[in-house]
């Protein structure tokens, strides 16, 4: 998305609209609306005088945008001004659709490469592969062109052509291709399959139009093809949310008809609403686990919160993001929109899980998380204790998996990506995604590939020691402990080769995922990653144990 959309903005025309309307009302000095009209008059007069007499020309749009941004500093980060050029971004958030070529890119140095190709997309149909380097588009070189600019040119109306030249990353051969842009529909369900022969698994990435129908269809197909299912995992990790209505539809798949899922309450009381399930569910008895992490937000939290409050299943993983606010879009002049927070939402138990209180600001303008001491307790249908504020707490907490510093460096510098590309062109085919594995000799080949490549880095311990040394120098303690620090630094100094071997299994897994992605695209990557996914394996183990599942559902009564 563009920088304007990422920053906070609001609309000038709305101000002018209010100014013209202000004169038809009668206010008294203590009336809030009089204060609004009064200050809008002052604002208009101020801008008129500034624009007339300031020594240099002031660009009207730029000045007004800054005024809008300043006003938005008093709101939450979800309230925003959407300019005409960013309407497509807003549409994509609601529909999951955009006009383009169906690929992800990354700029590293002078050139931009393809990192992922969406199955069935124009790029996929044209035979473009991850690792291919974009040399030119419509006759213009992409050398040293910013990634954002390359991305913008790849997008466009469905049916429009784009002449591209690609360079093979291994042979250097260049190939011209005519790509016909199409409507790209980013699937809300990126994968659905069976784990350990009897546990259904569905990965949901967003709540866009008809995403609930896609999840329902996936659940029905998994049940039909596997009548002996012992449980279902709905993976909402990293899902930022989306449409509230779709969250209700998804919950309805597992919750009986006419059950309250979420309610909204805001300043405009006529807009307050209770959202209940309206259809027959697919299954209300199959053991259910909903996976969350700190990036699960909004609609994801509505689903997780309703499943938890109604004791329909377990939430497993980490505490969710804590976004209990609802946004509505309002039409503004000149084909622009205001996306504004209009309400808070409440789960069936009556709790709002909003983690940050934007209505109360510190003297410096900052905002704070709701402290644990102010979080109120509520009860689920079965009598379990749950709390508001701070997101959805999991019923079974699983610590997140962190990758090593050496692995982070290899990913950041694209050595894993580049090796996978080289591997693809020297291996015409590999085993199925679930069974593919690198041999020890192939990992040794990767080690040789890294010879003479710079993947230097500092461990977290070294960074902490550097910070301590800096503080000690400022506080004038350094000279007294200098020798001890030097000894400690020498002991901590890491060996890159040893770090590589120490984290061999982790790095092998990352290599296997990237290699599988070359042959089986995103679906293959997900299948391979599930093999060592700690949260998924924990959820599957709980669903396999009826006693453990029931014990967690009955906890904290």
Q: Which residues are catalytic?
A: 298, 309, 323
3-state secondary structure labels for all residues of 30-96: CCHHHHHHHHHHHHHHHHHHHHHHCCCCCCHHHHHHHHHHHHHCCCCCCCEEECHHHHHHHHHHHHC
Structure tokens at 295: 């990036």
Q: Which two tokens stand for residue 541?
A: 């183990």
Rounded to whole angstroms, the Cα distance separating 432 from 523 reads: 12
Give backbone dihedrals phi and psi of 524, rounded to 5 degrees, phi first.
-65, -40
Q: Of 199, 448, 405, 415, nearest to 316 (Cα)?
A: 199
Yes or no: say if 369 and 361 are a contact pair by the CB < 8 Å rule: no
Structure tokens at 537: 């394996």
Within the chain, what is the greatest distance between any pair of CA atoms?
84
3-state helix, strand, coil in the chain (%, to 5): 40, 20, 40
3 state SS of 260: strand
3-state SS track over 129-157: CCCCEEEEECCEECCCCCHHHHHHHHCCC
For helices 504-529 and 405-412, what crossing angle results, to 10°?
60
Which of 346, 345, 356, 317 has its CA nearest to residue 536? Answer: 317
Helices (H) and strands (E) in the chain, counts: 19, 21
Cβ atoms of residues 219 and 200 within 8 Å: yes
Total residue count of the chain as it appears in this document: 557
Q: Which of 353, 389, 359 has its CA nearest to residue 75?
A: 359
Report the alpha-carbon distance of residue 162 to residue 378 in Å, rounded: 56
What is the Cβ-side half-sphere exposure of residue 325, based on CA atoms within 13 angstroms? 20
Instruction: Assign 344 to helix, strand or coil.
Output: strand
Is residue 547 within a helix (H) or strand (E), and if so which, with residue range? helix 546-553
Closest CA to 466 of 441, 438, 445, 488: 488
Q: Where are the alpha helices (DSSP H) in 239-373?
A: 244-252, 299-309
| CB 405, CB 459: distance < 8 Å | yes
């Amino acid at each position: 998305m563009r920088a304007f959309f990422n920053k906070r903005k609001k609309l000038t025309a709305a101000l002018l609209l209010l100014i013209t309307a202000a004169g038809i009302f009668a206010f008294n000095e203590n009336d809030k609306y009089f204060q609004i009209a009064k200050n809008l008059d002052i604002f208009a007069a101020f801008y008129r005088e500034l624009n007339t007499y300031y020594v240099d020309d002031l660009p009207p749009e730029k000045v007004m945008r800054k005024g809008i941004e300043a006003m938005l500093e008093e709101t939450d980060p979800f309230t925003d001004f959407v300019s005409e050029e960013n309407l497509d971004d807003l549409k994509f958030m609601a529909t999951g659709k955009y006009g383009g070529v169906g690929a992800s890119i990354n700029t590293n140095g002078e050139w931009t490469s393809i990192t992922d190709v969406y199955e069935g997309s124009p790029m996929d149909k044209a035979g473009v592969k991850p690792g291919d380097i974009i040399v030119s588009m419509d006759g213009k070189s992409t050398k040293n062109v910013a990634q954002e600019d390359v991305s913008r040119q790849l997008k466009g109306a469905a049916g429009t052509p784009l002449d591209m030249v690609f360079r093979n990353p291994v042979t250097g051969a260049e190939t011209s291709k005519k790509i016909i842009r199409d409507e790209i529909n980013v699937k809300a369900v990126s994968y659905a399959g069976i784990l350990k022969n009897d546990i259904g698994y569905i990965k949901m990435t967003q709540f866009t139009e008809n995403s609930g129908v896609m999840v329902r269809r996936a659940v029905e197909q998994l049940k039909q093809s596997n009548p002996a299912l012992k449980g279902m995992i709905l993976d909402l990790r990293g899902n930022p949310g989306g449409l509230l209505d779709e969250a209700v539809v998804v919950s309805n798949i597992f919750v009986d008809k006419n059950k309250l899922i979420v309610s909204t309450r805001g300043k405009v009381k006529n807009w307050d609403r209770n959202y209940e399930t309206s259809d027959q569910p697919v299954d209300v008895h199959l053991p259910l686990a909903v996976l969350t992490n700190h990036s699960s937000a909004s609609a994801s939290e509505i689903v997780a919160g309703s499943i938890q409050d109604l004791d329909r299943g377990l939430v497993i993983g980490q505490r969710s993001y804590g976004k209990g606010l609802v946004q509505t879009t309002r039409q503004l002049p000149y084909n622009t929109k205001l996306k504004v927070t209009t309400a808070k939402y409440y789960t069936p138990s009556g709790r709002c899980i909003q983690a940050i209180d934007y209505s109360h600001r510190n003297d410096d303008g900052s905002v704070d998380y709701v402290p644990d001491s102010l979080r109120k307790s509520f009860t689920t249908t079965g009598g379990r204790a749950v709390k508001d504020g701070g997101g959805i707490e999991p019923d079974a907490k699983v610590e997140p998996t962190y990758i090593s510093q050496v692995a982070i460096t290899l990913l950041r510098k694209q050595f894993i990506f580049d090796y996978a590309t080289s591997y693809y062109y020297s291996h015409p085919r590999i085993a199925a995604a679930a069974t593919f594995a690198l041999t020890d000799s192939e990992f040794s080949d990767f080690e040789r590939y890294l010879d003479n490549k710079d993947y230097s880095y500092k461990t977290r311990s070294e960074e902490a020691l550097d910070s301590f040394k800096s503080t000690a120098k400022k506080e004038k303690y350094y000279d007294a402990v200098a020798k001890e620090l030097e000894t400690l630094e020498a002991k901590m100094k890491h060996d890159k080769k040893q770090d590589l071997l120490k984290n061999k299994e982790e790095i092998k897994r990352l290599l296997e995922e990237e290699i599988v992605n070359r042959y089986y695209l995103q679906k293959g990557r997900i299948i391979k990653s599930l093999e060592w996914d700690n949260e998924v394996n924990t959820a599957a183990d709980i669903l396999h144990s009826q006693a453990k599942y029931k014990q967690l559902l009955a906890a904290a009564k």
